[in-house]
Every structure is written in structure tokens, then in C-alpha cells.
Amino acid sequence: MSKQSYRVCFCFRRRFRVLAAEAPADVKNLFNRYSDNGVMSVENLHRFLIEVQKEENATLEDAHAIMNNLHDLKILNIFHRRGLHLDAFFKYLFADINPPLNSKLGIHQDMNAPLSHYFIYTGHNSYLTGNQLSSDCSDVPIIQALHRGVRVIELDIWPNSAKDDVEVLHGGTLTTPVALIKCLKSIKEHAFTVSEYPVVITLEDHLTTDLQAKTAEMITQTFGDMLFSSDSCLKEFPSPESLKRRVLISTKPPKEYLQAKEVNETGATKGTDQTDTEAWGREVSDIKARYNDKDDSDEGEADDSDEEDPTSQQNTAPEYKRLIAIHAGKGKGGLSDWLRVDPDKVRRLSLSEQELGKAVVTHGKEIIRFTQRNILRIYPKGIRFDSSNYNPFNAWTHGAQMVAFNMQGYGRSLWLMHGMFRGNGGCGYVKKPDILLKAGPNNEVFDPEANLPVKTTLKVTVFMGEGWYYDFEHTHFDAYSPPDFYARIGIAGVDADIVMKKTKTLEDNWIPTWDEQFEFPLTVPELALLRVEVHEYDMSEKDDFAGQTCLPVSELRQGIRAVPLHSRKGEKYNSVKLLLRFEFI
């Protein structure tokens, strides 16, 4: 090795050496305030938990438990029995035992209200492994979704090529099918691994009557007593608590499918929606022509009237119809009729993201009134071939319970979805705030566009970050020097609360200490999510992604907290985390 090459290698090693993280000045000051002679006793730690961490109910036993945890983690040793020294205190603040959400609370919301009172973690085309046009269909993404806490699984069911069995696939595309029975068995096996609260299976049904009967037999034999069904349309939805470890089927009743099919075959499509397959064909043609953005219908939902058609009645599969716990359907008229609230029965309505966008302009209040009793499902527009997603807040702020997402896609919209359902113990059901559930004295309902007063202000102090040195290749961000990190902090929620702010960029530092404060006035904190991203500045190319998380503002723990970051796909990094302080002022 030449002298010159030796010098280059030595420089390279030196520049990538990481120094030990040092406590920020505010942390040192707090330690000095709550310690005596360089030691924080159990009693002082207890006082710190109450006064700084705002844990008003903290006990001395809680402080002892933290000490014991630190001994178990080898952060404290036998020489530190009297209490915490500065280094141990700093490591405690940055440890996994000090998370931003209170894991002790678990499922803490009222779970005894009707299903329509909850946001429900919902998947779209849950069987697809990748894009919407040519990826494989499999039970694997269904299992993965259930393990993440997803509670609504969508299956598109079609006859197989021999017309004697049922397959799951995205019709009219090159997706390869998977057997329905395999999907059902996987749902049964994994449904309640993460959450005991009910799983809803939404069926997009393209079956003949005999295969509907076969499907009913498969569902009944697979789920048995786990299945919740009703002989008639429900007058009110049951509660998640009453449906623990139960499975519900949701689709339109068979007679509506048959009526829609008969009408479509005659070419008279007025009053019915086209099936998903027809919509795909139409949209593919549109894209080839001018990349036009058209609506599609995820279910081919048709007439939801109670008038019985004699021909259909003779051809329905009664055992299949009896399995349907949540009836879906649009109705014969236009949007006003679709959103009609029936005092005698509840149902599910599906709208595309574009249909919702148009509907909130003309029927925003009617949508919120509808969702107080009924369930509204929103699904991605058909041209999202890459399995991307849409901003869920237009749906959430209007009370939509089932905001259906492609869980195999990733990006900022899916990060928001992950953030919403980190709430309420990650059980997949988050209680809608009262503003979406109650009408005012003059029967007025919540208006997401209203100019509302500030309810509270969230103050976030961004102290520092660490862990990239251990979770990334040392040349991942820059081939010859440590990274130049900056953080983006902001709010997702109603339009008035949306904002993103940015720290300074710190050059050549694996452990950036920004020590910056940001304030976020919130008009509707009940619907707000805190957005956190870290990027590495790149002068010549696009900045590199370095981690993200989203957290429900209503569940943030005040005080100094260790906030773990996640990958683009939402997978938690082993070591990367930020040290933040949350205060409501």
C-alpha cells in the first residue's frame, strides 16, 4: 500500500468514527435540578415524572420499576444502587422504556358503541402482493395486514376457469389467482393474533348462484361459531366489544348482484354502477388515450331498494344471503339517495376517492350525518396501478369509517394510516371524536372547513437523533463523510392545522443535535397526527430518506420521549430514534 493510499484510508476511517451521544444542555439542566451531588434518587425521579413528564399518577413504585428496568438493561449496575447518574438518566430518556405513546393504556377507548362510531383499519385488494395489474394474488399480504392490526380484508371473488370453484383475483388484469379457501383459512388462523376485535371481510362478488352457495359453505365451514350473521338487515350495528373474536361478511345482497347483471347484459346501465372489471377496462382505455382520471366502483354496487324481483328471488342462494352481516348498496337515485339515513336499518356505502372529493363539496353535511349511523367505505381510484394511496383525511374528517388502503404500497399517505391506528392500543378500531358523532342544538354537524378557534398548542422540542450509524451502511448517505441530517416536523389533520416545519441541517454528524423548538396551534387536535421525518441533505441529488413516524396527537405523552423511526414501508428500525419533548401549552 502506498503512503498516499494509506493516508486516504486513514482519513476515511477517521471521518466515519462515531462519538458517543452526549446529553443535550436541557437534559443536563433537568438532571441537575432533580439530583443531589450528581445522583438522581428514586424520590427525585418520581418528582421528575410528575413535574416534567406530566405523569400525574406516577407512584414511587413506578420510579422503582424504571430503576429495575435500567438494571435489567445493564444501563445501571451494582455500583449505582443509590440512583441515576447523568449518563444513566440520559440513556433512560432515550430508551425503548420511554415511548411517545402510553403502552400501559392499551385499549383505553369505549368499545361499546356501534361499529359506525369507529375508524376501522381497512385494506383494499388485500390479496395483492404488488401492483394492481400484474402482481401475484396470495394469502401472504392478508396475513401481513392482519399482523399489523388491519381489521377489514377485501376479497374479489370470481369463478375459476372450469366454473366449478372460487378464486380470488383482480378481475380483468394479469394478476394470478389464489384459491378462496386458502385466503379464508389464513384469515381464520391470523385474524386475532394482534387484536381480538372483529374482522370484516368485504366481498366483491362476481359469482354465479351455485358458486355463491359454494362460497357460503366454505365460509360457514371455515369460521363456524366465529361468524356473526343476521337474517335481516341490522337496525343498528353491534359494538366492537360485543363482536370480539367474530368475523363479519359485508357485500351487497345477491338479488342486487343478479339485477345488476341482468341490467348490464341488456345494456341498460342507468341506476347501476359498473363492476370493477368493466371500470378497469374503461380506465385502461382512457389512460391509453389521454391519461384521464375516471371513477371506478369497487363492488359494482347496485339497487339497494327493498323491492323483491320474483326472478331474482328464485335464483338467489339463501344461505349466502344469510351470511351477510353488513349489507352494502348504493340505491337507485343519485348521491342524495345514497346518503339517505334509514331509521330502521343500517348499511354500508362505498365511494371512490374521486366520488368522495366531489361529494364533500355538495353534500358534506349529509355525509357526516350518514356516517353517524351507517358505514362509509372509501377506496382508491382505479388508475392507482402502482398500489399507491390517497390522503385519508378528507374521508376521516367527514366520518368515513373504512378508508381502504393498499397496504403493500408505501408513502406518506400510508404513514398517516399507520399513525392513526397506533392509537387505542393498536387494536384496529379508533373511536371517532364526538364532533363527528353528535349534532348541535340546531342539528348542525361538524364542518372541517370552518374557521375554528385554537383549542390547544403542541410545543415540540427536537433535541437530537441517533442510531443511523448502527442501522445503515456507513456509506449509505455519503461515500466519504458522515451524513448531513435535518428533521421535518408537522401536523396532518383538518386543513387549518396542516403545516410542516424544518430544522437546520447539521453537517457531518451521525448523532445530530438540533435542539430546536416548534409550536403547532391546533383547532381540531382530536383528528391531528404528528408527522416526523428525517432526511439527509444531498447537494447534487434528491435528499436521502432517513426515517419517519406518525403519531396521534391526542395520545402523545407529554415530557421528554424517545421516538422510534420507521422505514418507508413502515418497518421499525432497530436503533434509529429521536429525542423529543412534547408540551401542550
pLDDT of residue 18: 61
Q: Comparing 382 with 534, which gets the higher pLDDT?
A: 534
- Average pLDDT for 522-527: 96
Q: Supply the CATH classification number for the domain 456-584.
A: 2.60.40.150
- Out of 46, 80, 108, 124, the active site residue is 124
How far apart CA 469 and CA 466 sit, in angstroms, is 8
pLDDT of residue 408: 85
The count of other CB atoms within 10 Å of the CB of residue 151 is 26
Residues 277, 281, 285, CA angle at the centre, nearest 5°?
165
> The C-alpha cell of 359 is what?
361529494
DSSP class of 558: P
The reply to whether domains 19-93 and 115-431 share a CATH topology is no
- Out of 46, 64, 147, 170, the active site residue is 170
Is pLDDT at 560 greater than 90 in this prediction? yes
Contacts of 32 (CB under 8 A, 6+ apart): none
Lowest mean pLDDT among 168-177, 244-253, 276-285, 516-525: 276-285
- Average pLDDT for 49-70: 92
Lowest mean pLDDT among 74-88, 335-349, 361-375, 428-442: 74-88
pLDDT of residue 312: 61
Is the CB of residue 101 less than 8 Å from the CB of residue 532? Answer: no
- 124 catalytic? Reply is yes
Is pLDDT at 291 greater than 80 in this prediction? no
How far apart CA 135 and CA 144 sit, in angstroms, is 16
Lowest mean pLDDT among 4-18, 51-65, 467-481: 4-18
Which of 195, 196, 156 has its CA nearest to residue 173? Answer: 156
Q: What is the pLDDT of residues 145-177, one digit of tens each?
A: 999 999 999 999 999 999 999 999 988 888 899
Q: What is the DSSP string of 211-258?
A: HHHHHHHHHHHHHGGGEE--SS--SSPPPTGGGTT-EEEEE--HHHHH
DSSP class of 180: H
- Average pLDDT for 56-60: 92
How far apart CA 7 and CA 5 sit, in angstroms, is 5
- Provide the pLDDT confidence category of residue 538 given band limits of 50, 70 and 90: confident
Is pLDDT at 16 greater than 90 in this prediction? no
Is the CB of residue 115 less than 8 Å from the CB of residue 162? Answer: no
Q: The domain at 19-93 falls in which architecture?
A: Orthogonal Bundle (1.10)
pLDDT of residue 304: 38
pLDDT of residue 230: 80
> The C-alpha cell of 159 is what?
369463478
Q: What is the pLDDT of residues 194-221, one digit of tens each?
A: 999 999 999 999 999 999 999 999 999 9
Return mean pLDDT, the chain: 85
Homologous superfamily of 115-431: Phosphatidylinositol (PI) phosphodiesterase (3.20.20.190)
pLDDT of residue 439: 84
Is pLDDT at 17 greater than 80 in this prediction? no
Is pLDDT at 186 greater than 60 in this prediction? yes
As a whole-number percent, the residues of the chain with pLDDT over 90 amount to: 64
pLDDT of residue 218: 96
Q: Comparing 504 with 283, which gets the higher pLDDT?
A: 504
Is the CB of residue 146 less than 8 Å from the CB of residue 195? Answer: no
pLDDT of residue 315: 62
- 108 catalytic? Reply is no
pLDDT of residue 4: 40
pLDDT of residue 344: 92
Give domain limits for the chain.
Answer: 19-93, 115-431, 456-584
Q: Which residues of 432-464 are buried (b: 16+ CB within 10 A; e: fewer)?
A: bbebbbeeeeeeebbebeeebeeeeebebbbbb
- Provide the pLDDT confidence category of residue 130 given band limits of 50, 70 and 90: confident
- Provide the pLDDT confidence category of residue 233 given band limits of 50, 70 and 90: confident
pLDDT of residue 540: 77
Q: What is the pLDDT of residues 370-384, one digit of tens each?
A: 999 999 999 998 888
- Provide the pLDDT confidence category of residue 332 given band limits of 50, 70 and 90: confident
User: What pTM was estimated for this model as a whole?
Assistant: 0.86
- Provide the pLDDT confidence category of residue 19 given band limits of 50, 70 and 90: low
How far apart CA 219 and CA 184 sit, in angstroms, is 7
- Average pLDDT for 431-458: 91
- Provide the pLDDT confidence category of residue 43 given band limits of 50, 70 and 90: very high
- Provide the pLDDT confidence category of residue 274 given band limits of 50, 70 and 90: very low
Q: What is the DSSP string of 430-448?
A: EEPPGGGT---TTS----T
Is pLDDT at 28 greater than 60 in this prediction? yes
Lowest mean pLDDT among 73-77, 366-370, 482-486: 73-77
